[in-house]
Structure 1
Amino acid sequence: MQAAVLTRPMEMVMKTLPVPRPKSDEVLVKVMAVGVCGSDVHYYEHGRIGRYVVESPIILGHECAGVVADVGDEVKRFLPGDRVAIEPGVACGMCPACKQGRYNLCPDVQFLATPPVDGAFVQYISIRQDNVFAIPPQLSFEEAALVEPFSVGLQAAGRSVIKPGDTIAIMGMGPVGLLAVVAAKAHGAKTIIVTDLEPVRLNAAMLLGASYALNVSNQDAVEAIHRLTDGIGVDVAWETAGNPRALQAALASVRRGGKMAIVGLPAQDDIALNVPGIVDNEVDIYGIFRYANTYPRGIEFLSSGIADVRSLITDRYPLSQAQQAMERARTNKSGSLKVMVYPNGEPV
């Protein structure tokens, strides 16, 4: 099979590798669509994210879906030909975090495209059967790949307990932020206020269900949010950009007794926050790391047609042009939303 391999920062090469043989509890998937994630771009450009360092050639890509090609001897839930989405984090199942159902915090998780684990820019991938989920006919492979970033929004909605009728501000309209709009909508948020610098992303957010889109290049987001909420502030704010100023704005936008979820990972460790304000207003703050137990709901929501998430796919590349796909995602933030790679040819 063909694989796109990151050999060093800013350099990807095509290599021929053996098709993996599934273990007894694994499913071999013919990969049909892989979304380019911001983390992929970061590894491609810098060779590291925090403590995760690319020390040897690695295959990127973790937002993926495809068709079952083979199954191990113990696999009973799938047959060759089944259409599936892949959850990319294989947890140990035995540690305290896994036992509590918070397997996203498993210290031994093997997450696709996180060093040293290879990812999905390949034609075939083998993965444990409990990380594979059937998708219905109406869900395209591209939409099924988007269940992965959508799951981050579902995790934020669950942790910060979004309720029908809530007002929410979402800071940052990258792909995760855009899909977080859909997650907030799915949980019944009545008013969804979004912020970003790029008009193309703000327009996309409105198409997905946002109520108001604020361009922070020409207006103060906090002032606008308080104006839109009659001076009260929002019930919940999510920061999805990993930007210190956006994080501070999110906190300042929350009403007394409200909640804030931190989704984006900033480059620096220390960020000044208004601690007296957090205490005085009794703001609940939640950290969001990936997701757990979200894939069945994610597939159900996106299959329902709640939003046209296919509109997010702006760029399409074959596997042989994986480096061009990475460059597109890296350099075209004012035009591209989600870049998609097709390891086995674009579906008709």
Structure 2
Amino acid sequence: MSATTTPLSTTVPDDSGSAQRMRAAVMHGRGDVRIEERPVPTPGSGEVLLRVTRAGICGTDAGEFTHGPSMFPVERAHPVTGHHGPMVIGHEFIGDAVAAGPGAEEFTGRRFASGAGVWCGQCPWCRAGRINLCERYWTAGLSADGGLAGFVTVPATTLVEIPDASHDDAMGLAQPLAVGLHAARRSGAGPGDVVVLVGAGAIGSFILCGLAGSGAERIIALDVDPHRLATAGELGATETHDVSDRDPVALVHELTDGVGASITIEATGRDGSAQRALDTTRRGGRVLFVGLPHAPQPLDLAPTILREVEMTTTLAHVCTQDLPEAVELLRDGRIADLLLGEVIGLDDLVTRGLQPLSAGTAPGKVLVDPWR
């Protein structure tokens, strides 16, 4: 598993008509992400060209790198975008709007975070406000070329302006924080609830940011890493517990006098995690599944049915609702101070980004500055 590099090109598009080039992280297959020179994309109607200043990587990128490609359309065409073949990855990015297509000219000269997800606005789900479930939904960096590059084009509808005084390092967390806020909202957590968060890694931490204002009576974070648990406490968990050598189900029942959690949020996707989440939850409670399993998991549903436990899931974020809130929460830099690990260059993407994230050893949230 290695990265192939080519010389840095930092050319900004101009009106000369000459072909402009940029560097980009391109997935060719399992364990095969190369840093290549690519043409700078041209924005189409309603699209904006961003000069990327920060881009993040997440568990989906690491999973596709290690176990895929299964979601990335490298081996088969994406049903909506039609992309097929090597693809520029990266769906968490911010940047400066340096050019725009027809209908988006007013966006140039400003700084934006992108939600990356694109919706049609016409289907039944879009009309109901659930744009993340659009029947033609696609995501830059997951379904077509994305933002781990010098430049990326995205529809202007995916953009939220970044306040002038905000640092790029903080705002680089906007898209994953939006995902966490949506998950927290989907959990339905509110006053009086005992919420158990299983997994206080990257997505778990962003979910905690959303839970902090829910009014839940107790927020119990479970993990196997002391540093992640310490951060969880800073983010609003009322209790943290290391379950590296303890049965999490038994622990939760002990902590709740045998009743169980009113809401369990499963954010790991590990083998057996779905059943443990159900067993952790009290009668009439709810389980929110966040972490994506890499393989099917067996479930014993009879006890779940007999306790009338609800099962729900969460996907991405509602850009128009969650991304503006994320940008606002990131303005003072506190969340970034707690969650940001390091900012690396494209050349270090594999060795200091994808590989550590796959192994669970990444030192906090890793961002990439494509111009380093």
- Indicate whether the TM-score tops 0.5: yes
The equivalences for 1:170-181 within 5 A come to 170-181=197-208
Question: Of 313, 322, 330, which residue of structure 2 is paired with 1:287?
Answer: 313
Q: Does structure 1 retain, via aligned residues, the 8 Å contact 2:265–2:287?
A: yes
**d(CA) in 1 for partners of 2:298 and 2:118?**
32
Residue 241 (structure 1) shift: 0.5
Partner of 1:206: 233
SS at match of 1:94: coil
Residue 237 of structure 2 is aligned to residue 247 of structure 1: no
Contact 1:244 1:271 in 2 (8 A): no
2:217 maps to a residue whose letter is K
1:10 aligns with 2:38: no
The answer on whether the counterparts of 2:343 and 2:368 sit within 8 Å (CA) in structure 1 is yes
Equivalent residue number for residue 259 of structure 2? 232
User: What count of residue pairs does the alignment treat as equivalent?
Assistant: 339
Q: SS at 1:114's partner residue? A: coil
Amino acid at match of 1:66: G
| Match status 1:70 vs 2:131 | no
* Structure 1 residues 4-83: aligned runs within 5 Å: 4-49=25-70, 52-55=72-75, 56-75=85-104, 78-80=107-109, 82-83=110-111
Deviates more, 1:11-20 or 1:120-129: 11-20
Q: Are 1:91 and 2:111 counterparts?
A: no
Q: 2:342, 2:184 → 1: CA distance?
A: 28
SS at match of 1:314: strand
Q: Which residue type is aligned with residue 283 of structure 1?
A: V
Q: CA 1:137–1:37 in structure 2 vs 1: closer, same or farther (change >3 Å)?
A: same
Conserved? CA contact 1:34–1:341, under 8 Å: yes
Q: Is the 8 A contact 1:198 1:334 kept in 2?
A: no
- Tell me the TM-score normalized by structure 1: 0.89
Write out per-residue CA displacement over residues 204-263 of structure 1, whole angstroms, 9 at most, x where no aligned residue. Answer: 212222122222222222222223223332221110111243322222222222111111
Partner of 2:131: 103
Consecutive unaligned residues in structure 1, runs of 5 or more = none
Q: Deviations over 1:67-113 (max 9, x none)?
A: 22123331265231x22110111112222222222222223222122
**Paired residue type of 1:58:** M
Query: In structure 2, do the counterparts of structure 1 residues 77 and 260 end up closer, same or farther at CA, with 3 Å as the change threshold?
Result: farther
The separation in 2 between residues aligned to 1:309 and 1:67, in whole angstroms, is 20
Relative to structure 1, the CA distance from residue 208 to residue 11 in structure 2 (aligned partners, 3 Å threshold; closer, same or farther) is same
C-alpha displacement of 1:32: 0.8
1:282 Cα offset (Å): 1.8
Task: State the TM-score, normalized to the length of structure 2.
Answer: 0.84
Report the AA paired with residue 99 of structure 1: R
Contact 1:200 1:334 (C-alpha < 8 Å) held by counterparts:
no
User: What residue identity is the alignment partner of 2:131?
Assistant: Y
Give the Cα separation in 2 of the matches to 1:71 and 1:167: 48
Residue 206 of structure 1: SS of its match in structure 2? helix
Distance (whole Å) between structure 2 residues aligned to residue 280 and residue 222 of structure 1: 18
Counterpart pick for 1:265 among 285, 292, 303: 292
